[in-house]
Amino acid sequence: MVKLAGCVIIIFCCSALGFLKAAEFEERAKILRRMKCDFEFFKNEISFMRTPMCEILKKAAKREGEIAFFYNNVCKNFENCTHESFSKLFCREAQMLEKSVPLTKGDIEILISLGQSLGKSDVDGQISAISAAEAAVDAQICEAEEVKSKNARLFKSLGIYAGILITIIFF
Amino acid sequence: MYDSIRMNVLSYVSPHLEKALKNLNFDGVTEIRVGKNMPLCAIVDSRAFFIGKKGELLKSYQNAYIATEEDFSSTLELMTAASIYAATDELKNGFLTLPGGFRVGVCGRAVLNGKKVSYIKEISYLNIRIAREIFDCAKKLSNLILADGSVKSTLIIGPPGSGKTTLIRDLARILSDDYSVRCAIADERGEIAAMHRGTAICDVGKLTCVMDLCPKKYAVNMLVRSMSPEVIITDELGDNDDLYTVKKAMHCGVKVIATIHGDKVSDAGAFAKKFDCIAILSRQSIGKIQKFIKNGDKNG
């Protein structure tokens, strides 16, 4: 009876690990899609409302996306008069994102290069910078979808099979 | 006053500039000039002084604080809230407005679109003008333009720094609060009322409404149509559009009180003929009227 319970627990845990890893691939694509929506929102706020950057980030944070906390941190730090430049703050917070969300270095790089030009030019300049970032995110979304379809099922199956294998070996 | 400067000026300059300026005695300071790689300078009672690292006023530039490129970019970023695009309309007119009505004149390389300036890039010089509210400085002028019992359209001519804006700000307050005149301010540059999030930071009177940061030709039109003012107050007339706008408002039965740069009647060109009264200011003290001329007596 104990052996049976142990087998079930091992299979369950390994499967859960596999499913969690698979979910990361799904989450990355989801975050990238959200990022694209946010960039579109930035463009609208800049071209039609001329909203200052911090206000835009605050509004974006209220939309409660997966990286809402990132927008929040950037504008909170900037408003707290740390005397660090906006682009430095944005890039620093973007680099820290890698620890908390399943984004790759390439994804973060898009945010960093956008951060270096945000707020530094006229409306046309801002729109082109954000459009370039959007195009880069589009490419990352395609790649993320590919990786997801290739690896998500693999990791789910791997989790289950690894659980079964361990059970067979040890029991 | 110092609190207002600390909150609205010092928190918008780089940490090094803030350090140099926080010990500066702001009594009599009308301008702070910051040039890229140039000594920091203050205009005190119409005289130029250099500012040392500890905020001391110096006659020579040798020990003055030199504003670095980093100071400059950081200051500009703070002044535009890291959003140059949001300030391009102001920048192409050569200034930025800080909360509290402090205007910052900007110098750099102009980018032209056709014949118009579309942007100023490579900004290399900032002139922070310390906005001051001087209560009752327009008392004498208000008595003059209300001598017949009704407000007269008045053009105020004065050189830069003579206190034109300070004067019309106080005039709006006096007309509104003391004479219950419905005033409307077309505040194209945001420095008369110093609106911040919909509230006038400067006291412009309880019966005064403000159209903020809107070109005069649109603002005056909208105010005449929608706010039924008795008097429209506006700053710095200049081009033919402004002349047409003033004429149009006067034809609607609204009195106009406006300012223009110059130091004699002929400097006001065609504007001078349109107003009932002309007041010429001197640089000697804020709002001091050098000459007051009524219509028909323009050689006065």
* pLDDT higher at B90 or B232: B232
Residue whose C-alpha is closest to residue B141's, from B5, B300, B293, B295:
B293
Gap between the Cα atoms of A154 and A145, Å rounded? 14
Gap between the Cα atoms of B68 and B106, Å rounded? 16
Pairing of strands B29-35, B116-129: antiparallel
pLDDT single digits (tens) B234-251: 999 988 899 999 999 999
Pairing of strands B255-261, B154-158: parallel
Range B92-110 average pLDDT: 84
pLDDT single digits (tens) A78-119: 888 667 788 889 999 999 998 889 899 999 999 999 999 999
Gap between the Cα atoms of A14 and B243, Å rounded? 81
* Chain B contact probe: residue of A81, A120, A121 with most B CBs at under 10 A: A120
- The minimal CB distance from A119 to the residues B11, B83, B118 is found for B83
Q: Are B253 and B136 in contact (CB under 8 A)?
A: no
Q: What is the pLDDT of residue B299?
A: 45
Gap between the Cα atoms of B188 and B165, Å rounded? 12
The mean pLDDT of chain A is: 88
pLDDT single digits (tens) B133-163: 888 999 999 999 998 889 999 999 999 878 8
- The minimal CB distance from A122 to the residues B11, B81, B84 is found for B84
Gap between the Cα atoms of B130 and B168, Å rounded? 16
- pLDDT band for position B2 (cuts 50, 70, 90): low
- The minimal CB distance from B85 to the residues A81, A83, A121 is found for A121
Gap between the Cα atoms of B216 and B202, Å rounded? 20
Interface check for A128 against chain B (CB to CB < 8 A): the answer is: no
The mean pLDDT of chain B is: 88
Q: Are B32 and B128 in contact (CB under 8 A)?
A: yes
Q: What is the pLDDT of residue B179?
A: 94
Pairing of strands B289-294, B29-35: unpaired
pLDDT single digits (tens) A122-138: 899 999 999 999 999 99
Gap between the Cα atoms of B179 and B163, Å rounded? 23
pTM of the model: 0.72
Question: Torsion angle, CA of B238/B244/B245/B248, rounded to 10 degrees?
Answer: 150
Range B10-18 average pLDDT: 89
Q: Which two tokens stand for residue B26?
A: 């702001």
Beta strands in chain B (DSSP E): 29-35, 41-44, 47-51, 57-58, 95-98, 102-113, 116-129, 154-158, 183-187, 195-196, 199-200, 208-212, 231-234, 255-261, 277-281, 289-294
* pLDDT higher at B284 or A96: A96
Q: What is the pLDDT of residue B300?
A: 43
Gap between the Cα atoms of A46 and A28, Å rounded? 27
Gap between the Cα atoms of B221 and B252, Å rounded? 10
Inspect the interface and report whether the beta carbons of B82 and A119 lie closer than 8 Å: yes
Residue owning tokens 């009322």: B193
- The minimal CB distance from B85 to the residues A50, A81, A85 is found for A50
Interface check for A122 against chain B (CB to CB < 8 A): the answer is: yes
Q: Are A143 and A77 in contact (CB under 8 A)?
A: no
Grouping H, G, I as helix, E, B as strand and the rest as coil, residue B181 is coil
**How much of chain A, in percent, has pLDDT values that exceed 90?**
49
Inspect the interface and report whether the beta carbons of B86 and A51 lie closer than 8 Å: yes
Gap between the Cα atoms of A7 and A169, Å rounded? 11
- pLDDT band for position B130 (cuts 50, 70, 90): confident
Burial of B93 (0-12, 13-18, 19+ CB in 10 A): middle
**Chain A: closest CA distance from residue B260 (Å):** 30
Inspect the interface and report whether the beta carbons of B85 and A123 lie closer than 8 Å: yes
* pLDDT higher at B50 or B191: B50
Inspect the interface and report whether the beta carbons of B84 and A121 lie closer than 8 Å: yes
Q: Find the closest chain A residue to B81 by CA distance.
A: A52
B190 phi and psi angles, rounded to 5 deg: 70, 20
In sequence order, the β-bridge partners of residue B255 are B231
Q: Are B156 and B279 in contact (CB under 8 A)?
A: yes
Gap between the Cα atoms of B63 and B86, Å rounded? 37
Gap between the Cα atoms of B113 and B126, Å rounded? 23
Question: How many Cα atoms are found within 13 Å in the side-chain-facing hemisphere of B94?
Answer: 7
Residue whose C-alpha is closest to residue A125's, from A60, A53, A55, A43:
A43
ipTM above 0.85, yes or no: no
- pLDDT band for position B113 (cuts 50, 70, 90): confident
What residues of chain A lie within 8 A of the CB of B85, using their CB? 46, 50, 119, 121-123, 125-126
Does residue B180 register a pLDDT over 60? yes
